[in-house]
């Protein structure tokens, strides 16, 4: 084994432990208080079972018959007429699309005799390229969520859909006669659907004075304005990170939604291999997924980032051939030289060295000027048409906070008589100052088309249960404009009404199904010839080929940018710098619930936050220094006061967070009818102000005596100097290529090892830490594929979470600017597995192909295997997590995987159900399983392609190649367990100038 | 006739005190059985029943809810359950040791305490025996640990130590039971003959197996007793050795230790003697057995306690040394974590109770001071429990990957099982004291005879 | 005082002891035997179906191939039960007045499924796959018996794990030419060991006994 410290401390930085320890202050007492909270008794299941069930009612897996084989007589109900193409016992796959932030991601749905059980990315779709994120994966649970709205309701009393149609049409015709619908307003969920676009034009004809607004609390409306500033013309931007050697991100978390994050992740991760390693500078305030990948990360308060951008411009002007920026740089005048000048210089020269091969990207939360500056820099560096394309805007209604406040004003003036809301729960997600709930309630005739009886539903006259995207026909456009036809996988489970039908009803179409309406729309918008074939083709592909928005040519026209900067400089003179007792507030979208629309999704609620590893909560994120100054530590509840409003929130001290700034994740603290979401976390929207929706000064933090225990799945942050998740500078890697030699290969043993080379397959996995961005899509994918139960906060607090695949996250270096690394860990399928020989009943054994098999029905639950597993990847069903489950959610279960009952151990199986299906198929066809034919759920989801699976006995297989890679090492190699899952060390590309 | 007391000038503490004869001995030993039930007994008995009720409740919850009703988690998959199991098994060691080994070594002082020890052993093993079953996720499949040809054509995994446990513990229980019963037979007979109520005489009579005390019966009895003693002796070593394998065969830092078998056996005897003392000191006082269970016995037992305490202490020392000597960062960390981690208080508690407290027994004054002895014996019981806790929980809660580290917090069910089994144990013991002679009358009388003969020789010479 | 125990009590005592020792042994033995018996495995039990479908008539008399109704047996884990339309395919023409088929017609025209009772039931944690067995030359009759001779289909094999594993450990004797899988009467001819050996090669049979072959 490698004696400690010999190799490799990530770039020589020294490890430290959780903050409590680093601080040294009475670490143990702190620990004890943390681990033995007052009134802990209420956490005991024996007592708290009922509320436990209540909490989980919405997401327990199908109940399983104990283990007795003699069950009551069983019925078989064959079809009366079997659908064509359906084979009982074999799943079918359909292509459709899911929209987020108004842009579609293509997915393939697996359907068993008509019930969808799994979603995967559509390999042909530009926004997916075969991978999927947490939201795509978790959409299924939402589909089957028994708490979805089920009835059309008028002020709470059930009504028939027809009644609504009648009622609405009467009023409509009235208002149409009166004043062409002057009082008619639509608040739409942002989407680029051609049908909706057409609907709007036709409505405009029918009701001249009707108006449309859109709202998505996380919508990026600064971006387009920035483009306008820089190029004087509207257009969308398509980034190509695969071509960029240098990426500078100005608070631009481009690896998370609503952008085309899957495509970005794919392209970006391709450039993280030593051969073609890019360099990422991330300038951001809170630690983001992008920040975790950065080679250099600069913590700035959100308000300082614009300053940084200006300084960057001023530096770039110094560089030869970039004088065309001088106008812009002069506009900002003489800037106060900041402490990070060295940084600016380094970035500037690096950019100048990589003209046409670099990207400067700004985030939605940054003001238009920053976007403008970014584009200006890209333009002068000649990146236009190289690493980024301007394309004709993919149509859609403006849907930022501005548009919502405009609507709010209209309502206040009483201009609105009829309000139709298809936006997701705006009453909840509106900035507090708009008091949107009151506004909506004041509208005489309001209609809400929603999935849940949520906060908005309570305020409207008419609540219309929405059909889930997987239940309905519609169309949508991808980030690059490619059109997809959205087709249903299943008839509406809870009488949901398709959006298409609702909208069409306003044009008097009340007797047609969404299917008919949509087909007719597409028939008239396209060559009539051979429509059927084309339609079938669209549905089969999941998108309509060659419908991407054409790219547009544009040159830098900085005048408006310059004037904008001048104005900004003027107003800066008046401003006062933030004083220590008022901090900066920073609103961020959440990695798990987006804007709160996924808050009732227990998969996502229990998913550890990729950064903080917090489940079932959100927390006010602050930097260690600020925490020290304010005398705060994790779980302390603080009072946050801002612009006359105040909320209470638990604190999470996050290393690498900007000082004097508090980041508040949106989307929690829901108060709707959804019991999973209700009361989880705090509602940051209650503090959000329409004047400064993203960040602002003037936040006051007061410590309260209370504590709120956060359920954190990964408490200990340091690697204790152990060679676990390895990352180091690329130079070092080139200098000593065999440095990892002692962390791989066979170890000393007294027994002669089993030889697996004679078998047909030798299953193995490789995980490339250089590629892994830690987005956790794999975790949810695994949960969906393998029927993994949710255990709820009570049990996560007892560290009983059931995820087969977890993502470890370690910090190293300094507390202020730590190096971060993420490492997915599931069962590594040791060839010499410690778990196997200690099981008294042979419930976990080794297969001839090297799988470490877990046989649930043989397990008696001694849990010895887990004790002896050095990777602690085994999960035990401490309670009967899978009983008491709503019918609708039994439909969600993957029929190829046993649903585990109480008292048995479980763990990653390398998706053996997929292996066996592939094997049987190949054996019937008399061939071998091809490399790449077989993917595990995590591998299939991973947008960064960090996970590879296959057989080592095929020397040319992808996984075999990776196992021979110089960066390959085995986790806990010194134990001689010979894991089949190999890790590839992460390489970093630091800029020597910043060393 | 001279009292057996001060038979040996070098050893002033007598094995039987006072001026005795066969009748007086019989009276002393059988009075507790004959006399009317005392109020104190009822009080304690009801107390015990209450505790047993708690036990029943805890067991019910465990079966109904699953192990989830305990505090166990990942990574701490074993906790109170196994701790209690090992603790009880350990306590169950004194009996066999005293009966068997001391019998083979012909230690005179065993006679008046062996019944106590054996009975305690039986009850302790009963308590211990519950845990392996309670502890299973699916207890209704416990029989899968037993090798038998089945429709699945699967055998248990013999590489694992757990199936051995089943065999070892059950064997141990059976042999101890037989040993105990064979020893009881003559006393049952005397109870039968001496009882007044017909019912008692019938009941005792049945258990006396028609014992008449004929020399032939004595002859067989002696042989059988010796044979069982021979059988039991290896068990003293084997049982706890195998229990220690539950840990030793794993690769977990803090468990993976070749030292475990001897060190567990020593620990077992240690705790066993401590428990005997805890029970015997009040008993001899209340039941007026001081003349038969004399300070001599307590003195001897204290010596054993001291010796085993030193062995256990050596065990701790070695664990620490090996942790350092191995130069294995995981071993090293687990040692450090025991001493300074969040559960450090448990470690220092066990050092205090198991290593420091017994040191007072170097002084004869304290060895023969019942109060002091009693306190120390209780400390040792506590200490041994916390030792098992440290081994089981503290090793598990922080192992190889820091990402999976977690804390452990017991629930009321965990405590219910611990104190429930203790009450159950106590209840059984009270019944024993009430209905059976706590001391083997026959053996005591023999001993008395031997002693007075020795004395006669001594005086003759 | 009178003797506490009469002479006979010795005998009584011995008998009692004997009984006490014997009872658990006998109980266990019985339980053990029961677990192998048809009572437990459910072999040969007559199961009532809503429709009196007679395999003797359809298979033996009419010689209809198994796959005509159990269509997915070669492509899917489940052999598949015929959709009612398959029944009606013939019975719209023949026996279309037969009272025996009232139930079928009723359910067909009202689009209600026929609730067949399962005869061969495996535990929920067992994943049996028909297609691979059929494609490797394991005949229907091998596990399901002479269905063509059954008025009521009954389970003839114990369907215990041991029974499965026996064949997976030594499949040779159970194989037949793939084209003969649905034959109820095929019997090996000539040098049986030789033939079995050839079939292993010809059908390219590699049985697996890893747990995950059936338990996932």
Contact A902 B406 (CB under 8 A): no
In the block, tokens 């046993």 appear at: A898
- The verdict on B60 touching A (C-beta cutoff 8 Å) is no
Q: In whole angstroms, what is the distance from residue A683 CA to residue A427 CA? A: 12
Going by C-alpha positions, the residue among A198, A7, A193, A206 that lies closest to residue A102 is A193
Chain A interface, Cβ < 8 Å to C: 64-65, 67, 69-71, 73-82, 87-90, 845, 847-849, 851, 853, 855-858, 896-899, 909, 912-913, 915-916, 920, 923-924, 926
Task: Give Cβ neighbours of residue A782 (< 8 Å, ≥ 6 apart).
Answer: A788, A803, A804, A805, A826, A908, A937, A938
In the block, tokens 């306190």 appear at: B375
Going by C-alpha positions, the residue among A457, A470, A472, A458 that lies closest to residue A502 is A472
* Contacts C166 to B, Cβ<8 Å: 153
Q: Which H/E stretch holds residue B350? A: helix B344-350
* Contacts A847 to C, Cβ<8 Å: 210-212
Query: What is the model's pLDDT at position B14?
Result: 72
Interface test with B, best of C3, C4, C168 (most B CBs within 10 A): C4
Length of chain B equals 461
Q: In whole angstroms, what is the distance from residue A351 CA to residue A991 CA? A: 12
- The verdict on B200 touching C (C-beta cutoff 8 Å) is no
Q: How many CA atoms lie within 13 A of A632 on its CB side?
A: 32
Could you tell me if B272 and B91 are in contact, meaning their C-beta atoms sit under 8 angstroms apart?
Answer: yes
- The verdict on A714 touching B (C-beta cutoff 8 Å) is yes
Q: Residue A544: what are its φ and ψ, rounded to 5°? A: -105, 120
Interface test with B, best of A878, A883, A972 (most B CBs within 10 A): A878
Q: How would you class B363 by CB atoms within 10 Å of its CB: exposed for 0-12, middle for 13-18, buried for 19 or more?
A: exposed
User: Could you tell me the end-to-end alpha-carbon distance of chain A, in angstroms, rounded to an integer?
Assistant: 32
Given A76, A845, A920, which is nearest C131 (Cβ)? A920
Could you tell me if A498 and A556 are in contact, meaning their C-beta atoms sit under 8 angstroms apart?
Answer: no
Q: pLDDT tens digits for A698-734?
A: 999 999 999 999 999 988 888 888 889 999 898 888 8
Going by C-alpha positions, the residue among A136, A126, A199, A258 that lies closest to residue A542 is A126
Which chain A residue has its CA at the smallest distance from C69's CA?
Answer: A78
- Looking at residue A40, what DSSP letter applies? G
Sheet holding A157-158, edge to edge: A157-158, A153-154, A462-465, A445-450, A418-421, A184-188, A211-214
- Looking at residue A446, what DSSP letter applies? E
Instruction: Write out the two tokens for A740.
Output: 């990892």
Q: How would you class C14 by CB atoms within 10 Å of its CB: exposed for 0-12, middle for 13-18, buried for 19 or more?
A: exposed
DSSP codes of every residue in A864-929: HHHHT-TT---EE--S-TTSS--HHHHTTS-TTSPPP-TT-EE---SSHHHHHHHHHHHHHTTSPP
- The verdict on B378 touching A (C-beta cutoff 8 Å) is no
Q: In whole angstroms, what is the distance from residue B20 CA to residue B17 CA? A: 8
Query: What is the model's pLDDT at position A227?
Result: 93
Task: Give Cβ neighbours of residue A86 (< 8 Å, ≥ 6 apart).
Answer: A92, A113
Query: What is the model's pLDDT at position A74?
Result: 82
Task: Give Cβ neighbours of residue A181 (< 8 Å, ≥ 6 apart).
Answer: A172, A175, A203, A206, A207, A208, A209, A210, A418
Instruction: Write out the two tokens for A134.
Output: 């947490």
* Contacts A898 to C, Cβ<8 Å: 124-125, 215-216
Give helix B412-435 / helix A45-56 axis angle, nearest 10°.
Answer: 150
Q: pLDDT tens digits for C57-115?
A: 999 999 999 999 999 999 999 998 999 999 999 998 989 888 889 999 999 999 899 99
Query: What is the model's pLDDT at position A331?
Result: 85
- The verdict on A586 touching B (C-beta cutoff 8 Å) is no
The ipTM, to two decimals, is 0.92
Contact B135 A862 (CB under 8 A): yes
Which chain A residue has its CA at the smallest distance from B68's CA?
Answer: A878
Q: Mark which residues 242-271 of B lie under 8 Å from A by CB.
A: 246, 249-252, 255
Q: In whole angstroms, what is the distance from residue A439 CA to residue A459 CA? A: 9
Instruction: Write out the two tokens for B78.
Output: 């074993």
- The verdict on B303 touching C (C-beta cutoff 8 Å) is no
Q: Which H/E stretch holds residue A390? A: strand A388-391
A603, A779, B144 from A609: Cα distances, Å: 12, 11, 41
Given A860, A864, A874, which is nearest B142 (Cβ)? A860
DSSP codes of every residue in B88-151: HHHHTTHHHIIIIIHHHTT-GGGTTTHHHHHHHHHHHHHHHHHHHHHTSSSGGGGGGGS----T
Going by C-alpha positions, the residue among B269, B70, B89 that lies closest to residue B166 is B89
Contact C162 B202 (CB under 8 A): no
Q: Which H/E stretch holds residue A862? A: none
Q: pLDDT tens digits for A27-42?
A: 333 333 333 333 222 3
Contact B342 A4 (CB under 8 A): no
* Contacts C78 to A, Cβ<8 Å: 88-89
* Contacts C42 to A, Cβ<8 Å: 70
* Contacts C107 to A, Cβ<8 Å: 80
In the block, tokens 């210089």 appear at: A345
Contact A916 C112 (CB under 8 A): no
Give the bridge partners for A466, in sequence order: A497
In the block, tokens 């060679």 appear at: A723
| Angle (nearest 5°) at CA C130 between C127 and C132 | 100
Q: Mark which residues 122-161 of C lie under 8 Å from A by CB.
A: 123-125, 127, 129, 131-132, 135-136
- Looking at residue A678, what DSSP letter applies? B
Number of residue pairs across A and C with CB atoms under 8 Å?
125
Q: In whole angstroms, what is the distance from residue B435 CA to residue A294 CA? A: 78
- Strand-strand pairing, A818-825 and A582-588: unpaired
- Strand-strand pairing, A645-653 and A614-615: unpaired
What are chain C's partners, defined as 3 or more CB pairs within 8 angstroms? A, B
Given B75, B137, B406, which is nearest A904 (Cβ)? B137
Residues in chain B predicted with pLDDT less than 50, given as ranges, are 1-7
CA-based nearest distance B410→chain A, Å: 9
* Contacts C165 to B, Cβ<8 Å: 153
Query: What is the model's pLDDT at position A690?
Result: 92
Could you tell me if A370 and A309 are in contact, meaning their C-beta atoms sit under 8 angstroms apart?
Answer: yes
Q: In whole angstroms, what is the distance from residue A202 CA to residue A304 CA? A: 46
Instruction: Write out the two tokens for A840.
Output: 């008294």
Q: In whole angstroms, what is the distance from residue A369 CA to residue A566 CA? A: 11
In the block, tokens 């820099």 appear at: A377
Could you tell me if B377 and B309 are in contact, meaning their C-beta atoms sit under 8 angstroms apart?
Answer: no
Q: Mark which residues 19-78 of A lie under 8 Å from B by CB.
A: 28, 31-32, 34-36, 40-41, 43-47, 49, 67
CA-based nearest distance C162→chain B, Å: 5
Query: What is the model's pLDDT at position A21?
Result: 37
Residue A968, helix vs strand vs coil: strand
Going by C-alpha positions, the residue among B318, B304, B336, B305 that lies closest to residue B262 is B318
User: Could you tell me the end-to-end alpha-carbon distance of chain C, in angstroms, rounded to an integer?
Assistant: 74
- Looking at residue A484, what DSSP letter applies? E
Residues in chain A predicted with pLDDT less than 50, given as ranges, are 1-71
- The verdict on B445 touching C (C-beta cutoff 8 Å) is no
Going by C-alpha positions, the residue among C145, C178, C143 that lies closest to residue C163 is C143
CA-based nearest distance C68→chain B, Å: 34
Contact A80 C112 (CB under 8 A): yes
């Amino acid at each position: 084994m490698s004696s400690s410290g010999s190799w490799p401390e990530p770039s020589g930085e020294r490890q430290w432990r959780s903050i409590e320890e680093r601080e040294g202050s009475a670490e143990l007492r702190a620990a004890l208080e943390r681990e033995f909270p007052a009134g802990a008794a209420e956490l005991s299941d024996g007592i708290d079972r009922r509320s436990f069930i209540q909490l989980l009612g919405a997401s327990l897996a199908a109940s399983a018959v104990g283990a007795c084989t003699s069950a009551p007589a069983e019925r078989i109900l064959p079809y009366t007429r079997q659908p064509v193409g359906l084979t009982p016992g074999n799943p079918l796959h359909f292509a459709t699309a899911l929209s987020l932030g108004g842009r579609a991601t293509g997915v393939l749905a697996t359907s068993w005799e008509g019930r969808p059980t799994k979603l995967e990315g559509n390999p042909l779709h530009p926004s997916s390229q075969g991978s999927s994120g947490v939201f795509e994966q978790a959409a299924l649970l939402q589909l089957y969520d028994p708490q979805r709205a089920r009835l059309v309701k008028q002020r709470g009393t059930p009504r028939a859909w027809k009644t609504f149609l009648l009622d609405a049409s009467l009023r409509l015709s009235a208002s149409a006669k009166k004043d062409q619908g002057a009082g008619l307003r639509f608040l739409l969920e942002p989407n680029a659907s051609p049908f909706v676009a057409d609907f709007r034009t036709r409505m405009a004809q029918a009701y001249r004075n009707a108006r449309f607004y859109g709202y998505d609390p996380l919508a990026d409306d600064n971006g387009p304005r920035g483009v306008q500033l820089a190029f004087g013309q509207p257009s969308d931007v398509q980034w190509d990170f695969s071509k960029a050697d240098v990426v500078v991100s100005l608070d631009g978390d481009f690896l998370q939604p609503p952008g085309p994050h899957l495509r970005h992740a794919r392209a970006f991760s391709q450039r993280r291999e030593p051969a073609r390693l890019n360099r990422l500078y991330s300038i951001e305030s809170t630690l983001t997924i992008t920040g975790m990948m950065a080679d250099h990360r600069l913590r700035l308060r959100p308000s300082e980032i614009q300053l940084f951008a200006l300084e960057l411009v001023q530096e770039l002007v110094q560089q030869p051939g970039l004088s065309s920026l001088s106008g812009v740089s002069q506009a900002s005048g003489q800037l106060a030289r900041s402490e990070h000048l060295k940084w600016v210089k380094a970035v500037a020269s690096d950019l100048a060295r990589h003209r046409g091969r670099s990207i400067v990207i700004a985030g939605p939360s940054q003001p238009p000027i920053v976007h403008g500056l970014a584009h200006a820099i890209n333009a002068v560096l000649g990146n236009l048409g190289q690493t980024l394309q301007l394309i004709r805007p993919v149509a859609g209604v403006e849907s930022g906070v501005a548009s919502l406040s405009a609507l709010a004003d209209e309502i206040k003036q009483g201009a609105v008589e009829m309000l139709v809301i298809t936006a997701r729960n705006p009453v909840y997600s509106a900035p507090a100052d708009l008091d949107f709930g009151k506004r909506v309630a004041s509208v005489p005739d309001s209609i809400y088309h929603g999935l849940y009886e949520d906060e908005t539903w309570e305020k409207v006259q008419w609540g219309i249960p929405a059909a889930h995207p997987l239940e309905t026909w519609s169309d949508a456009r991808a980030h690059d404009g490619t059109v997809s036809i959205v087709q249903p996988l299943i008839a509406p489970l809870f009488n949901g009404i398709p959006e298409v039908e609702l909208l069409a009803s306003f044009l008097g179409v009340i007797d047609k199904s969404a299917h008919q309406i949509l087909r007719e729309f597409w028939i008239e918008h396209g060559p009539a010839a051979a429509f059927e074939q084309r339609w079938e083709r669209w549905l089969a592909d999941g998108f309509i080929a060659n419908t991407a928005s054409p790219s547009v040519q544009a040159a830098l026209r900085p005048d408006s940018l310059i004037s904008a900067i001048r104005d900004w400089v003027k107003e800066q003179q008046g401003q006062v710098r933030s004083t220590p007792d008022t901090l900066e507030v920073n609103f961020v979208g959440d990695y798990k619930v987006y804007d709160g629309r996924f808050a009732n999704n227990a998969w996502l609620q229990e998913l550890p936050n990729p950064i903080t590893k917090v489940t079932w909560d959100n927390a006010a994120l602050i930097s260690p220094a600020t925490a020290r100054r304010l005398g705060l530590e994790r779980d302390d509840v603080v009072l946050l006061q801002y612009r006359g409003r105040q909320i209470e929130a638990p604190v999470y001290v996050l290393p690498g967070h900007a000082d004097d700034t508090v980041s508040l994740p949106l989307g929690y603290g829901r108060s709707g009818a959804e019991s999973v979401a209700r009361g989880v976390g705090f509602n940051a929207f209650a503090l959000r102000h329409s004047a400064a929706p993203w960040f602002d000064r003037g936040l006051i933090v007061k410590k309260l005596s209370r504590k709120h225990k956060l359920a954190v799945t990964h408490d200990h942050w340091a690697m204790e100097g152990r060679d676990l998740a390895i990352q180091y500078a690329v130079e070092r890697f080139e200098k000593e290529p065999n440095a990892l030699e002692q962390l791989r290969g066979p170890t000393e043993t007294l027994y002669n090892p089993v030889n697996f080379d004679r078998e047909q397959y030798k299953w193995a996995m490789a995980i490339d830490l250089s590629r892994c961005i830690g987005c956790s899509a794999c975790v949810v994918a695994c949960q969906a594929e393998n029927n993994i139960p949710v255990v709820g906060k009570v049990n996560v607090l007892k560290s009983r979470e059931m995820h087969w695949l977890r993502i470890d996250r370690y910090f190293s270096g300094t507390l202020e600017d730590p190096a971060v690394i993420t490492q997915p860990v599931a069962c590594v399928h040791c060839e010499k597995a410690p778990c196997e020989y200690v099981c008294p009943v042979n419930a976990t054994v080794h297969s001839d192909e090297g799988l470490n098999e877990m046989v649930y029905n043989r397990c008696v639950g001694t849990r010895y295997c887990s004790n002896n597993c050095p990777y602690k990847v085994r999960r035990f069903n401490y309670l009967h997590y899978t009983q008491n489950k709503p019918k609708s959610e039994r439909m969600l279960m993957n029929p190829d995987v046993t649903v585990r009952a109480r008292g048995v151990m479980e763990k990653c199986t390398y998706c053996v159900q997929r292996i066996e299906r592939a094997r049987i198929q190949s054996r019937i066809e008399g061939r071998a399983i091809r490399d790449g034919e077989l993917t595990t759920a995590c591998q299939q989801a991973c947008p960064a392609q960090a996970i590879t699976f296959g057989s080592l006995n095929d020397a040319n297989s992808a996984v075999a190649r990776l196992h021979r890679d110089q960066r390959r090492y085995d986790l806990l190699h010194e134990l001689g367990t010979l894991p089949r899952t190999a890790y590839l060390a992460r390489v970093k590309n630091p800029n020597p100038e910043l060393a | 006739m001279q009292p057996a007391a001060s038979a040996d000038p070098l050893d002033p503490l007598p094995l039987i005190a006072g001026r005795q004869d066969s009748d007086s001995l019989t009276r002393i030993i059988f009075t507790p059985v004959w006399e009317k039930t005392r109020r104190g007994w009822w009080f304690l008995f009801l107390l015990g029943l209450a505790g047993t009720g708690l036990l029943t409740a805890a067991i019910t919850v465990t079966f109904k809810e699953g192990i989830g009703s305990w505090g166990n988690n990942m990574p701490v998959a074993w906790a109170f359950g196994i701790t209690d199991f090992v603790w009880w098994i350990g306590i169950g060691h004194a009996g066999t040791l005293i009966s068997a080994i001391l019998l083979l070594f012909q230690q005179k002082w065993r006679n008046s305490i062996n019944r106590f020890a054996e009975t305690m052993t039986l009850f302790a093993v009963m308590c211990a025996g519950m845990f392996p079953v309670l502890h299973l996720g699916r207890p209704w499949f416990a029989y899968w640990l037993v090798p038998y040809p089945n429709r699945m054509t699967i055998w248990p995994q013999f590489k694992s130590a757990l199936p051995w446990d089943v065999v070892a513990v059950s064997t141990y229980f059976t042999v101890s039971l037989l040993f105990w019963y064979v020893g009881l037979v003559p006393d049952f007979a005397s109870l039968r003959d001496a009882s007044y109520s017909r019912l008692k005489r019938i009941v005792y009579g049945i258990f006396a197996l028609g014992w008449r005390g004929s020399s032939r019966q004595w002859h067989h009895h002696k042989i059988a007793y010796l044979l069982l003693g021979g059988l039991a002796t290896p068990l003293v070593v084997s049982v706890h050795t195998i229990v220690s394998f539950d840990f030793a065969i794993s690769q977990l830092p803090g468990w993976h230790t070749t030292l475990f078998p001897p060190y567990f056996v020593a620990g077992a005897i240690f705790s066993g003697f401590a428990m005997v003392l805890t029970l015997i000191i009040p008993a001899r006082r209340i039941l007026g057995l001081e003349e038969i269970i004399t300070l001599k016995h307590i003195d001897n037992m204290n010596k054993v306690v001291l010796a085993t305490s030193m062995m256990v202490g050596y065990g701790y020392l070695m664990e620490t040394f090996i942790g350092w000597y191995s130069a294995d960062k995981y071993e090293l960390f687990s040692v450090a974590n025991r001493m300074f981690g969040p559960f450090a208080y448990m470690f220092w508690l066990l050092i205090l109770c198991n290593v420091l407290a017994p040191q007072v027994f170097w002084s004869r004054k304290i060895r023969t001071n019942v109060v002091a002895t009693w306190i120390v014996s209780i400390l040792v019981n506590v200490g041994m429990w916390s030792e098992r806790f440290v081994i089981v929980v503290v090793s598990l809660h922080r192992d190889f990957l820091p990402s999976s580290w977690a804390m452990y917090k017991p629930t009321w069910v965990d405590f219910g099982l611990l104190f429930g089994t203790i009450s159950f144990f106590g209840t059984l013991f009270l019944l024993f004291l009430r209905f059976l002679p706590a001391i083997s009358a026959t053996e005591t009388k023999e001993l008395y005879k031997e002693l007075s003969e020795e004395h006669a020789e001594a005086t003759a010479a | 005082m009178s003797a506490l125990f009469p002479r006979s009590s010795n005998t009584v005592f011995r008998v009692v002891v004997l009984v006490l020792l014997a009872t658990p042994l006998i109980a266990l033995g019985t339980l053990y035997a029961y677990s192998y018996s048809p009572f437990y495995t459910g072999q040969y039990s007559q199961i009532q179906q809503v429709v009196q479908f007679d395999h003797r008539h359809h298979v033996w008399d009419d010689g209809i191939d198994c796959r005509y109704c159990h269509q997915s047996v070669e492509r899917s884990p489940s052999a598949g039960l015929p959709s009612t339309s398959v029944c009606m395919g013939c019975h719209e023409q023949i026996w279309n007045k037969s009272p025996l088929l009232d139930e079928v017609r009723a359910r067909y025209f009202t689009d209600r499924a026929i609730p067949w009772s399962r005869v061969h039931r495996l535990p929920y944690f067992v994943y049996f796959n028909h297609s691979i067995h059929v494609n490797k030359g394991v005949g229907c009759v091998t596990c399901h018996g002479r269905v063509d001779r059954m008025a009521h289909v009954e389970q003839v094999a114990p369907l215990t794990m041991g029974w499965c594993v026996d064949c997976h450990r030594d499949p040779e004797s159970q194989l037949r030419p793939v084209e003969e899988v649905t034959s109820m009467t095929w019997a090996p001819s000539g040098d049986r060991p030789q033939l079995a050996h050839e079939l292993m090669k010809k059908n390219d049979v590699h049985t697996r006994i890893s747990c995950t072959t059936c338990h996932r």
